[in-house]
Amino acid sequence: MDTNLTFQPPTTPIAKIARNVTSQRIVTPRDPDAYYFRSLEKIGIYLNEKQIEAVRTTDGPVLTLAGAGSGKTAVLTARAGYLMLVKNVKPQQILIVTFTKKAATEMAERISKIPGITSEMMGNLLVGTFHSIFLRLLRSVGYTHKIINNEKHRQFIIKKILKDMDINDEPEILLAKFNYMANHLILPMTAKANALVDQEVQEAFQRFMDYKEENNLMDFDDILFHTYQLLEKQQPILKNLQRRFTYIEIDEYQDTSVLQHVIMKKLALPQNNLFVVGDDSQSIYQFRAATNDIILGFPQEYSGCRKIVLDINYRSNPYIVGLGNEIIKHNKKRFEKNLYAVNETGKEPVYSTYETVEDEARHIIHSLKRSDREWRDHAILFRTHAVSREITDRLVLEEIPFVTYGKDELFYDNPIVKPILDYLRLSCDPGHWPAFRGILPSLYLSADRVIDYIGMNQKPGDLLLEKITDLPWISSNHREILTEKVAFIKQLREQQPVAAIQEIRNGKGQYTRYLLDRTTPASTLYEEIVEETLDELENSARNFSSVKEYLQFIDQVISYHEQMEKLRKQKNPNVVKLMTIHGSKGLEFPVVYLIGASESILPHQSSLHETDDRISVLSGEDKINEAIEEERRLMYVAVTRAKEELHISSLQTYRNKTIGISRFILEVFEA
């Protein structure tokens, strides 16, 4: 039976309503720049008092704290126009840096629409991402390196290095560590590296850098690192750039890495006309080497810094804004700020708890089908992909159109999940080539070598599985193990799906052991992700009585997902949007369902104990608190994506364990 308990908070947080006075009243005809603000009003841009202050503050270091939904893009673009049209700054003297190509394009389009901005001015104005701008710089001084823009290519290089070093580790984990080291200027074999990073990782990083240099290759981290080195060693180039870019604007400053910060700090000298916009409450990309310390330390780093707080939320109703305020105030490492709401009325957030993920998914589907809104008005947000598996399956069964955004990988295509499904497929269909190839690495066999050998030696009627016991290069011990594995695979189709998955994971299949053998002992986070993902795979099989039936359902899900993916190409498809909270950053939706708002999910289990996976100068309780505060910022980001309706659901049980409502919700209502 479904268990749906609506959590009734003792009080409902509500934000104060803003005194929404705009440029129409603030900027008077007597003001010398009134003509500019009147021109903005003609195209529908009405700035509030703090936004006007940010636009008018053109000289010196400026930190603009832009709360969720506070109109930061309008400020960045209006200020660029102000510099050119009011302060008569030449367009080529202005540098505007963003984190995504989409943001850069949108910003350039908005600036071009400001009355008085000509196409010639836009041609001289440089708006782009960190990587696009600095790659252009490197190319201009003779860097000819080919860009590695394929993640598989980077992993191929890492696998070769790991093999040469005779060590086990996951390429993805190692690349994440390299990313952190590069973006924190932690060079191999230095005192800083020795204090924070294992020697093996340092050596692998050095080999990775050497390989790229020897082969004239460069990845995205290298674009920044080579730029840093260029500016350090070539003072004439640095001086030339400093003379050219006398005004710099940086968007999403809370997502800046140490490396990006150091580069921009160099470029801004000596004038330091550096205008940075961001929200420390939305710093959620530590895994990408961003650090909240940079934006928090900006006022201390730049004497005379002007701090401007954009504290009026134009996006959400007052209950949603109020909830966001109450969630984030429990973080200790933050700038104090409280957002006001422009919208005076709206629906209160709905809090629900469910016994299981199945109950949660059923009720959300029921709610979606009852809604009188378009499908496109709804977004479902989640902390990890494993949490989204059940709701995705339900959307398929109910034939509700949906698209997954961000990392568009379906749960059943997850590289941790897929080999287990390949075992099941091969059990039912011994001639299934893709499945056969998919299981070979977990049998400690080179897929390419085995496929090549069988292709040359297979005879009519030969069974794929039987051939692996005949491989001439394997040891007698390995052959004996493979013989047992072949017999094991053949009998999987006779078992219940859950039992078969369990047997593959931790029984004769020893699949979990294989996964963890590929990582260093310190990879606690990876181990947690493996267990969470495979627990959810088991859960997905509980309603099926045969392996064949289970695989047919998965094929149905995959087929429907492929159909839905075609809708992604449409400009504004009428689909429910599914995405991680990380992927939702910068977006907004009329209706948001935040699922899995429970302890061990949000905050994630990995943040609740110290782990060496996260490289940090902190340790012990300080390191745990750092991780929990980032998880709370994740909750804040999720809540503040909602414009009109917010549904937050928690689970009572997850992965066969009893869990509670997320502390981030409960602490809001504590006396």
Residue 374, token pair as written in the block: 């378009």
Q: What are phi and psi of 181, to 5 degrees?
A: -60, -45
Q: Would the annotation count 72 as a binding residue? A: yes
**Rounded-to-integer distance, Cα 490 and Cα 655, Å:** 28
Q: Would the annotation count 520 as a binding residue? A: no
Q: Would the annotation count 73 as a binding residue? A: yes
**Rounded-to-integer distance, Cα 93 and Cα 86, Å:** 14
Q: Would the annotation count 435 as a binding residue? A: no
Q: Tell me, what DSSP letter sits at residue 18?
A: P
Sheet holding 306-310, edge to edge: 126-129, 94-98, 247-250, 274-278, 62-66, 306-310
Scan for tokens 């929200």, then name that residue.
279
Q: HEC states along 199-227?
A: HHHHHHHHHHHHHHHHCCEECHHHHHHHH
DSSP structure string for 293-311? HHHHHHHHHSTT-EEEEE-
Q: Would the annotation count 67 as a binding residue? A: yes
**Rounded-to-integer distance, Cα 168 and Cα 516, Å:** 9
Specify whether the backbone of 472 is left (phi greater than 0), alpha (psi in -120 to 50) or beta: alpha
Residue closest to 78 by CA, chosen among 102, 113, 128: 113
Residues 6+ apart with CB under 8 A from 298: 61, 63, 253, 276, 305
Q: What are phi and psi of 614, to 5 degrees?
A: -85, 115
Strands (E), 76-165: 94-98, 126-129, 146-147
Task: Tell me the pairing of strands 589-594 and 642-651.
Answer: parallel
Q: Would the annotation count 278 as a binding residue? A: no
Residue 2, token pair as written in the block: 């479904």
Q: Would the annotation count 68 as a binding residue? A: yes
Residue closest to 469 by CA, chosen among 478, 457, 458, 461: 478
Annotated binding site for ATP: 66-73
Annotated binding site: 66-73
